A and B are shown apart, each in its own frame.
Chain A
């Protein structure tokens, strides 16, 4: 795999990315660099294209113009490139998307065994360790349907980590959770951030953003409106749209 050589080269590069759903222009000229170990928090009103953007990073959505390079590999129509990128990029979804017909342990070991060809025992050992890390080792033999929302989302994080990804994408990981369960998921994410994982999070949890993010990205109507470190972003928003959004989201 061709990497860009130096260590401080960005691990995710988006250059002039455009995407349309039919006539609807969802992403307009998106430019973004994510360095190794950086934590990016993407926020914005619903329909602003933030989920679409991070879903383009592992090709769950196809972009029609521009370039996306992840870990030195450009995303093209070549399936091998896409597969290579997906192996390095973990993703956590709003609705968890755990596999309901498999136990928690099987959810975790499935991809290592079938994609990475890890021996079963080794995969299970790693899965057990990761379940301990997200605080639910005792649930390994249960099925997802038997867990609470917060536990399911922690399993989903552990499942993504099982592939030892270099990058983690979070698509509104706490939006579908009951309020009392949000903290347990955010705690896991903060721990992950502290360990130096490269993270791109779409979230409205501004407390989390303030304490973890290196860079805040505000999107509206398919455009990146503002890109600033959190200190700057929260105290000195430049654009009117950002100000309005922040006033709405921070007022309660």
Chain B
């Protein structure tokens, strides 16, 4: 027989106080047990060891003014190096007098995208569609030139952050729709469609991106007839887009599988065709579920663009590395890499925050 006896296992909790003093907060959160006290002290010690030297290197003792390595005398970071090469990091070897074209193109993009973030703006879909179709054309002619009185700039001169954004932007915009189509294909009832989707996804996922890029830049020209030549950047773009589409497809498929069968049946019972059912009922729910996965893939894609260095394209990291080999600036690798890392981080963190915002906005009070 089990004894039923009420034992005092823990002291009654004090009523929650409405105002917490600093001291009480410290005790509760940082020194609540011997182990936590040790952890807190350890963290404080680590911070003490790391932070002051970092601040002193990056800011207090750093050199910000000047234009040659001779100006870097204070002993800290030599940001002069980054400043002197800033244009190259941003635009690569794009002719300096033509860089305004890139600025204009990005300005157009920012002005075009801004209304999409205004909740009260009513023509979001129309604007997004216009941008999606029209902007690549405008941007292409601005970047490449060769028409409308703009001088031609070969893609081999494109570089820096500009090139990173072009590769990542094209990759993001094409891999999502392509990935959705592949995911639908893989779940299709038609054996041929399903087969093609499975083979494509498995082949692409089974190779490293470097291999894809190598094949696109080295092997593809061997198979093409004499005289036919695709632009190297274009080949890299196609490679990156197809590669990330395969990953995207699997993420989206995960979302499709999470949608209950009843949603399909309700849509069918109402007479919706396959594409309307997918476009209006299934995909909006499936994509919402996999936003974290999609953003994950997009961030990975953004960083994977650094691999175009392998085939001789100079993105942000590539231009930084190229600048490091410059004899007049030797020895400032740390500054260069810190700057590049910061550049990538800003964009990736931005994507992450945007996805949090979108998720919160799309939440409609149901949990499945």
Instruction: Enumerate chain A interface residues (CB-CB to B < 8 A).
Output: 58-60, 83, 86-87, 89-91, 93, 95, 97-101, 110-111, 114-115, 143-146, 159-160, 163
Given contacts A111-B272, A115-B276, 17 further A-B contacts (CB under 8 A): A60-B268, A86-B268, A86-B270, A87-B271, A93-B265, A93-B269, A97-B265, A100-B285, A100-B366, A101-B364, A101-B366, A111-B270, A114-B272, A145-B367, A160-B269, A160-B270, A163-B271
Point out the residues of chain A lying under 8 angstroms from B281, CB to CB: 99
Point out the residues of chain A lying under 8 angstroms from B266, CB to CB: 91, 93, 97-99
Point out the residues of chain B lying under 8 angstroms from A89, CB to CB: 269
B270:A101 contact, CB within 8 angstroms? no
Point out the residues of chain A lying under 8 angstroms from B365, CB to CB: 143, 145-146
B280:A114 contact, CB within 8 angstroms? yes
Q: Would you give the shortest CB distance from B285 to chain A, in whole angstroms? A: 5
Point out the residues of chain A lying under 8 angstroms from B364, CB to CB: 100-101, 143, 145
A144:B269 contact, CB within 8 angstroms? no
Q: Give complex CA distance A234, B254 in Å.
A: 49
Point out the residues of chain B lying under 8 angstroms from A101, CB to CB: 284-285, 288, 362, 364, 366
> Quick one: closest B residue to A85, CB to CB?
B271
Q: Any chain A CB within 8 A of the CB of B263?
A: yes
* A-B contacts, CB under 8 A, total: 69
Which B317-368 residues have a C-beta within 8 angstroms of A?
A: 362, 364-368
Instruction: Enumerate chain B interface residues (CB-CB to A < 8 A).
Output: 260, 262-263, 265-273, 276, 280-281, 284-285, 288, 362, 364-368
Point out the residues of chain B lying under 8 angstroms from A58, CB to CB: 268-269
A selection of 24 A-B contacts at a CB cut-off of 8 Å is A58-B268, A58-B269, A59-B268, A60-B269, A89-B269, A93-B262, A93-B265, A97-B260, A97-B262, A97-B265, A100-B364, A100-B368, A101-B285, A101-B288, A101-B364, A111-B270, A111-B272, A114-B276, A143-B364, A143-B365, A145-B365, A145-B367, A146-B365, A160-B269
User: Which of B269, B288, B366 makes the CB contact (< 8 A) with A145?
Assistant: B366
User: Which of B268, B269, B362 makes the CB contact (< 8 A) with A90?
Assistant: B269
B270:A115 contact, CB within 8 angstroms? yes
A60:B265 contact, CB within 8 angstroms? yes
Q: Would you give the shortest CB distance from B121 to chain A, in whole angstroms? A: 19
Point out the residues of chain B lying under 8 angstroms from A115, CB to CB: 270-272, 276
Point out the residues of chain B lying under 8 angstroms from A87, CB to CB: 271
> Quick one: closest B residue to A87, CB to CB?
B271
A111:B271 contact, CB within 8 angstroms? yes
User: Which of B280, B285, B288, B362 makes the CB contact (< 8 A) with A110?
Assistant: B280
Chain B binding surface SS class = helix
> Quick one: closest B residue to A159, CB to CB?
B270
Point out the residues of chain B lying under 8 angstroms from A95, CB to CB: 262
Point out the residues of chain B lying under 8 angstroms from A93, CB to CB: 262, 265-266, 269
> Quick one: closest B residue to A60, CB to CB?
B265
Q: Which 4 pairs from chain A and chain B are nearest by CB?
A: A145-B366, A97-B266, A97-B262, A111-B270
Point out the residues of chain B lying under 8 angstroms from A98, CB to CB: 266
Q: Give complex CA distance A38, B34 in Å.
A: 77
Tell which of A58, A91, A99, A110 has the most Cβ of chain B within 10 Å.
A99
> Quick one: closest B residue to A92, CB to CB?
B269
> Quick one: closest B residue to A84, CB to CB?
B271
Point out the residues of chain A lying under 8 angstroms from B362, CB to CB: 101
Q: Give complex CA distance A144, B368 in Å.
A: 12
Given contacts A99-B263, A100-B368, whether A86 and B269 have CB atoms under 8 Å apart is: yes
> Quick one: closest B residue to A146, CB to CB?
B365
Point out the residues of chain A lying under 8 angstroms from B368, CB to CB: 100
Q: Give complex CA distance A133, B60 in Å.
A: 73
A97:B263 contact, CB within 8 angstroms? yes
Q: Would you give the shortest CB distance from A105 to chain B, in whole angstroms? A: 13
Q: Give complex CA distance A60, B266 in Å.
A: 9
User: Which of A59, A100, A144, A163 makes the CB contact (< 8 A) with B270?
Assistant: A163
Q: Give complex CA distance A99, B284 in Å.
A: 10
B271:A83 contact, CB within 8 angstroms? yes
Q: Would you give the shortest CB distance from A155 to chain B, in whole angstroms? A: 12
Q: Give complex CA distance A60, B269 in Å.
A: 7
Q: Give complex CA distance A99, B269 in Å.
A: 13
Point out the residues of chain A lying under 8 angstroms from B265, CB to CB: 60, 93, 97
Q: Give complex CA distance A213, B366 in Å.
A: 36
Q: Give complex CA distance A144, B281 in Å.
A: 14
Tell which of B268, B288, B362 has the most Cβ of chain A within 10 Å.
B268
Point out the residues of chain A lying under 8 angstroms from B367, CB to CB: 145
Q: Would you give the shortest CB distance from B327 to chain A, in whole angstroms? A: 60
Q: Give complex CA distance A101, B266 in Å.
A: 14
> Quick one: closest A residue to B267, CB to CB?
A99
Q: Give complex CA distance A143, B365 in Å.
A: 7
Q: Give complex CA distance A159, B266 in Å.
A: 10
Point out the residues of chain A lying under 8 angstroms from B267, CB to CB: 99
Point out the residues of chain B lying under 8 angstroms from A114, CB to CB: 272, 276, 280
Q: Give complex CA distance A90, B269 in Å.
A: 7
Q: Give complex CA distance A111, B268 in Å.
A: 10
Q: Give complex CA distance A7, B102 in Å.
A: 72
Q: Give complex CA distance A97, B272 in Å.
A: 15
Q: Would you give the shortest CB distance from A98 to chain B, in whole angstroms? A: 7
> Quick one: closest A residue to B366, CB to CB?
A145
A83:B273 contact, CB within 8 angstroms? yes
> Quick one: closest B residue to A61, CB to CB?
B265
Point out the residues of chain B lying under 8 angstroms from A97, CB to CB: 260, 262-263, 265-266
User: Which of A60, A86, A143, A145 makes the CB contact (< 8 A) with B271?
Assistant: A86
Q: Give complex CA distance A144, B262 in Å.
A: 14
Q: Would you give the shortest CB distance from B287 to chain A, in whole angstroms? A: 10
B366:A144 contact, CB within 8 angstroms? yes
Q: Would you give the shortest CB distance from A185 to chain B, in whole angstroms? A: 17
